[in-house]
Amino acid sequence: MRKNSNILPLIFIIIPLLWILFISSSSASVIYDGKSLIINGQRRILISGSIHYPRSTPQMWPDLIKKAKDGGLDVIQTYVFWNGHEPSQGNYYFEERYDLVKFIKLIHQAGLYVHIRIGPFICAEWNFGGFPVWLKYVQGIEFRTDNGPFKAAMEKFTTKIVDMMKSENLFASQGGPIILSQIENEYGPVEWDIGAPGKAYTKWFSEMAVGLNTGVPWVMCKQETAPDPIIDTCNGFYCENFKPNKNYKPKMFTENWTGWYTAFGGAVPYRPVEDLAFSVARFIQNNGSFMNYYMFHGGTNFGRTGSGLFVATSYDYDAPIDEYGLIREPKWSHLRNMHKAIKQAEPALLSAYPTVSWPGKNLEVHVFQSKRYCAAFLANYDSENSATVTFWNKQYNLPAWSVSILPDCKTEVFNTAKVYGLRRHAKMIPVSSGSFPWQSYIEQTVSADDSDTFTNAGLLEQVDITRDSSDYLWYTSNVYIKSDEGFLKNGQYPFLNIMSAGHVLHVFVNGRLSGTVYGSLTDTRLSFSQGIKLVAGVNKISLLSVSVGLANVGTHFEWYKTGVLGPVTLNGLNEGTRDLTKQKWSYKVGLKGESLSIHTLAGSSSVEWIQGSLVAVKQPLTWYKTIFNEPTGNDPLALDMSTMGKGEIWVNGKSIGRHWPGYIAKGNCGNCNYAGLYNENKCLSDCGQPSQKWYHVPRSWLKPTGNLLVVFEEMGGDPSRISLVKRQL
Ligand SMILES: *[C@@H]1O[C@H](CO)[C@@H](O)[C@H](O)[C@H]1NC(C)=O
Ligand SMILES: CC(=O)N[C@H]1CO[C@H](CO)[C@@H](O)[C@@H]1O
């Protein structure tokens, strides 16, 4: 008895002492155990949010970071965008939207931490999943497997980023803000798919990453095979039942989807904040200690950075901060209120594991109680009925599908389904009456004798030819028709049949557009089958094949194909079916306007622009340009492109992205799989409207007067109704 009472206090002194010695002797100031991350000796429940630096402008970053901090975030998470940083092999770029170091330093200045997801495969609905296109053409390469050339390239880039962070002292172990790094990304399904080489690759990249000695932990998301000391983490809409692969690793949620991305032709996603908050509260009450919102600000896929699943230019994601940098209500405020409640509960959450009880059907109570602290989470999992729970002699009303947080076990300070405050919706307000004074220039179809064309017997894969230097590739071929053929027969013209791997195809016969076909988010392939009017003699078939970005996910997505691969046939001639697949085709990469750089400030003197009443309307392959002044004020700006079809937009030579309002969505989706309770796929508003009609024009790309706006339109549109709008709360 006596002996024991002497030893016990001693243990209380020795263990913390050893602990402090351990911390100060290891270089890492960030360590972990089964409970949480421990930063400089302090346990933390961390709230994180994704903001991707190239999806906004450096001028927007300070405000986005401030709004993230005010919303209760401790950490900002970003991927690293390899193809933006190494556009051609060995040539690096870290300026403007790709100024990673500046972005991290701004986060540091704001007093937040950083989780850097180096990948370098990142998925992210980003072109080619973040891989540079040149990587595909490295001799003998195979992506994301036990392949020498791939591993060499991956190691080189990963090392470059880690070294860059180290030389700027950005890791927490050096006093910087980076508390976590990520290697690879959602590799679990691929490893499972490909087996042994996948396992060997995992072993290799894990050792490679750990060997870089960042001094902070590495994570791998959605891969339960993460070897020690790497932490495996969860991505999903809900992660409360996730368990790390070792009990000495903390439970971390690296991607909780705040909404979903928009695809051209798809519904505009919406995840109610009640459901999002419910998911987060459940995760925290079940031992979760690190929670990341994917996305906290989604932003914009400027230029041609969106990926080949028809990903739209807007990457708004229904996030708490909208595409334009404005707070989205009530999402932002409701989550901020929850984060405050979680912070109040943090001492209790960190001092105990929860005891769980079930006071009734679909009811669950989690209590985190230690000597000094107590916090309780009261949950009602019934998706339709509210319930009353008695806890510590007090009654609490729990709406359906909700969790109440009691940071002191007595006072409900937050319930995930009780949303207060403004339900303000941002509006788009026209800034100018009257339309822009447009000039137009019509791009002609290509002839085989044009410069920069080459010929080949047979059809070629698109990206092999373009190397993604342009969305556009012309396939041109001649068809000879004898005098007695090619005309109406049994009331029909001969049929041209074309199979293409995607993504969009404009078919011209003798210089005239015969039709346009395109694939979709779920299947990029397309076919064209239509009667075409041919003339006796030589007919020119010109196929403009258009890619909407390259695939960003899937086992060996580098082998996915784009473009007209055939067969191409002509039916209904006297001779029967004529196969055009293997005949001579000529190829030209890109548009004439692109090679003349008419979208740039320098422009081209060899183009004759038409103006006034003769400006082209509803003409395919038309370039438009105009000059405009910057509207006064600070409201974010957008172009309303509702009356246009598909193409690309440039402001002062910078691409604000692909436009495609001509692809009509099925409507705003109530929620297609975006949540448990709200799983009805029904249209809420804007049904039958384009997936995206507004296109963000960053203020910082404008000067007060004389801004050049250039639009390339593929299908034909009415530019007279393109207008500038400002976004206001
Ligand atoms: C929380 O973690 C502890 C320790 O690993 C475990 O015993 C307990 O079952 C977990 N509770 C929940 C609700 O996940
Ligand atoms: C499995 C899955 O759908 N994963 C997605 C998680 O969310 C990120 C961001 O939207 C995507 O990149 C992944 O494909």
Q: Is the CB of 45 under 6 A from ligand 2?
A: no
Radius of gyration (C-alpha) of the chain in whole angstroms: 29
Ligand nearest to the CA of 319: 2
Contacts (Cβ under 8 Å, ≥6 apart) of 606: 596
Please tell me which residue, 520 or 667, carries the higher pLDDT value.
Answer: 520
Q: What is the 3-class SS of 239-250, one letter each residue? A: CCCCCCCCCCCC
Residue 520 pLDDT grade (very low, low, confident, very high; cuts 50, 70, 90)? confident
Q: Is the pLDDT of residue 214 over 60?
A: yes
Measuring from atom 5 of ligand 1, which residue has the nearest CA? Answer: 247
Residue 17 pLDDT grade (very low, low, confident, very high; cuts 50, 70, 90)? very low
- Give the H/E segment covering residue 395: strand 394-398
Atom of ligand 2 nearest to the CA of 122: 12
State the average pLDDT over residues 24-37: 76
pLDDT recorded at residue 669: 53
In whole numbers, what is the pLDDT of the chain averaged over residues? 91
Atom of ligand 1 nearest to the CA of 247: 5
State the average pLDDT over residues 605-615: 92
Atom of ligand 2 nearest to the CA of 222: 1
Q: Is the pLDDT of residue 641 over 90?
A: yes
Residue 272 pLDDT grade (very low, low, confident, very high; cuts 50, 70, 90)? confident
**What length is written for the chain?**
729
- Give the H/E segment covering residue 593: helix 592-595
Residue 546 pLDDT grade (very low, low, confident, very high; cuts 50, 70, 90)? very high
327-365 pLDDT, tens digit each: 999 999 999 999 999 999 999 999 999 999 999 999 999
Ligand nearest to the CA of 551: 2
pLDDT recorded at residue 267: 78
Q: Is the pLDDT of residue 434 over 50?
A: yes
Best residue for ligand 2 mutational test, from 123, 184, 311 (most atoms within 8 Å of Cβ):
123
Best residue for ligand 2 mutational test, from 184, 255, 260 (most atoms within 8 Å of Cβ):
255
**Lookup: tokens for 462:** 């698109």
CA 360 to chain centroid: 41
Q: Are strands 622-628 and 654-659 parallel, antiparallel or unpaired?
A: unpaired
Active site annotation includes 384 = no
Residue 383 pLDDT grade (very low, low, confident, very high; cuts 50, 70, 90)? confident
Atom of ligand 2 nearest to the CA of 236: 6
For residue 353, the CA-to-ligand 1 centroid distance in Å is 6
Atom of ligand 1 nearest to the CA of 285: 13
Residue 257 pLDDT grade (very low, low, confident, very high; cuts 50, 70, 90)? confident
For residue 372, the CA-to-ligand 1 centroid distance in Å is 20
Best residue for ligand 2 mutational test, from 128, 144, 186 (most atoms within 8 Å of Cβ):
186
Measuring from atom 6 of ligand 1, which residue has the nearest CA? Answer: 353
Residue 227 gets which letter from DSSP? P
State the average pLDDT over residues 557-569: 96
pLDDT recorded at residue 450: 75
CA distances from 206 to 232, 244, 412 (A): 12, 16, 44
* Residue of 86, 125, 191, 255 marked catalytic: 255
pLDDT recorded at residue 18: 46
385-399 pLDDT, tens digit each: 999 999 999 999 999
Q: Is the pLDDT of residue 670 over 80?
A: no
pLDDT recorded at residue 13: 47
Cβ(542)–Cβ(516) below 8 Å: no
For residue 632, the CA-to-ligand 2 centroid distance in Å is 39
Give the whole-number percent of the chain exceeding pLDDT 70: 91
Distance between first and last Cα of the chain: 69
Determine the residue type at 559.
W
pLDDT recorded at residue 681: 57
With CA atoms as reference, report the closest residue to 293 among 266, 313, 273, 314: 273
pLDDT recorded at residue 690: 86
Cβ(308)–Cβ(249) below 8 Å: no
pLDDT recorded at residue 24: 42
Residue 310 gets which letter from DSSP? T
pLDDT recorded at residue 261: 85
State the average pLDDT over residues 433-454: 84
Please tell me which residue, 74 or 452, carries the higher pLDDT value.
Answer: 74
Rounded-to-integer distance, Cα 506 and Cα 619, Å: 13
Q: Is the pLDDT of residue 15 over 60?
A: no
Q: Do you find a cis peptide bond into 644, omega within 30 degrees of 0?
A: no
Rounded-to-integer distance, Cα 303 and Cα 264, Å: 15
pLDDT recorded at residue 71: 98
Interior angle at CA 668, CA 240 and CA 326, nearest 5: 75
State the average pLDDT over residues 175-185: 97
DSSP string, 18-49: HHHHHHHHSS-SEEE-SS-EEETTEEE-EEEE
Is the model's pTM score more than 0.85?
yes
State the average pLDDT over residues 677-693: 70
pLDDT recorded at residue 665: 67
pLDDT recorded at residue 323: 98
CB neighbour burial string for 60-91, b if at least 16 within 10 angstroms, e if fewer: bbeebbebbbebbbbbbbbbbbbbbbbeeeee
45-94 pLDDT, tens digit each: 999 999 999 999 999 999 999 999 999 999 999 999 999 999 999 999 99
Active site annotation includes 255 = yes
pLDDT recorded at residue 484: 66
**Lookup: tokens for 622:** 């038309």
State the average pLDDT over residues 541-567: 96
State the average pLDDT over residues 452-480: 96
pLDDT recorded at residue 125: 96
For residue 282, the CA-to-ligand 1 centroid distance in Å is 13
pLDDT recorded at residue 25: 38
Ligand nearest to the CA of 34: 1
Angle between helices 273-285 and 331-351 (to 10 degrees): 10
pLDDT recorded at residue 9: 44
Contacts (Cβ under 8 Å, ≥6 apart) of 151: 201, 204, 205, 208
Q: Is the CB of 61 under 6 A from ligand 2?
A: no
Atom of ligand 2 nearest to the CA of 125: 12
Residue 3 pLDDT grade (very low, low, confident, very high; cuts 50, 70, 90)? very low
Helix (H, G, I), strand (E, B) or coil at 484: coil
State the average pLDDT over residues 109-120: 98
Best residue for ligand 1 mutational test, from 240, 287, 370, 403 (most atoms within 8 Å of Cβ):
287
State the average pLDDT over residues 629-636: 95
pLDDT recorded at residue 2: 35
pLDDT recorded at residue 448: 63
State the average pLDDT over residues 135-149: 98
Rounded-to-integer distance, Cα 106 and Cα 269, Å: 30
pLDDT recorded at residue 263: 86
State the average pLDDT over residues 692-712: 97
pLDDT recorded at residue 22: 45
Q: Is the CB of 591 under 6 A from ligand 2?
A: no
Q: Is the pLDDT of residue 294 over 60?
A: yes
Q: Residue 351 — φ and ψ, nearest 5°?
A: -100, -5
Question: Which residue's structure tokens are 């707070």?
Answer: 327
**Lookup: tokens for 53:** 């630096």
Atom of ligand 2 nearest to the CA of 260: 10
Q: Is the pLDDT of residue 5 over 80?
A: no
* Residue of 186, 224, 485, 630 marked catalytic: 186
Interior angle at CA 53, CA 51 and CA 58, nearest 5: 120
Rounded-to-integer distance, Cα 684 and Cα 207, Å: 49
Q: Is the CB of 552 under 6 A from ligand 2?
A: no
Measuring from atom 11 of ligand 2, which residue has the nearest CA? Answer: 124
Q: Is the pLDDT of residue 178 over 50?
A: yes
pLDDT recorded at residue 667: 55
Q: Is the pLDDT of residue 11 over 90?
A: no
Residue 331 gets which letter from DSSP? H
For residue 369, the CA-to-ligand 1 centroid distance in Å is 14
Q: Are strands 584-589 and 472-481 parallel, antiparallel or unpaired?
A: antiparallel
